[in-house]
Amino acid sequence: MDIKGKIIQKLDPQGGVSKAGNQWKKQEYVLETLDSYPRKVKFDFFGDRADQYPLEVGDVITLSYDIESREFNGRWYTDIRGFKAVKEDPNAVAAAPAPYAPAGEPAPAPAPGTEGMPAPPPGADTFDQAGAGDDLPF
């Protein structure tokens, strides 16, 4: 799964030695999504990936992740474990993509009440908007 957002916090790195005697490390971050209603997501990179993807506060990334849950003493704990981070250009995020328009033609104005909705792909069947109100019971 993928999620896109901005790193808003970098937590202290953690590490140690497992019961089997293996070294381990983990780096946790907090990402804020770029949606209309932003959400905060805490995730981590474990093992070698902690060094492979060094992120800083302010980086805009697309994170590929897995969700893991485990039981300990009758309680369940869930981790969001990142396995890949691709840094984005922060200036490109601010600009919203333009509606689809074939080359050389201006984009049509959206129909009233459809602002912010994606345009249908070229060749998609659309209904006749002029007669659409005739079939409604109200």
Residue 96 inside a domain? The answer is no
Share of the chain above pLDDT 70, in %: 64
Residue 95 inside a domain? The answer is no
Please check whether residue 46 is in contact with residue 77, taking contact to mean a CB–CB distance below 8 angstroms. Answer: no
Residue 41 lies in domain: 2-89
3-state SS, residue 125:
coil
Q: Which residues contact 8 (CB under 8 A, 6 or more apart)?
A: 30, 31, 32, 40, 57
pLDDT, tens digit (0-9, with 9 covering 90-100), for 110-138: 666 666 666 666 666 555 555 555 566 65
Residue 22, both tokens: 């293996």
CATH label of the domain that carries residue 14: 2.40.50.140
Would you place residue 89 in the very low, low, confident or very high pLDDT band (cuts 50, 70, 90)? confident
CA separation for the pair 26, 45 (Å, rounded): 6
User: Who has greater pLDDT, 95 or 23?
Assistant: 23
Task: Count structural domains, the chain.
Answer: 1
pTM for this predicted structure: 0.62
Residue 60 inside a domain? The answer is yes
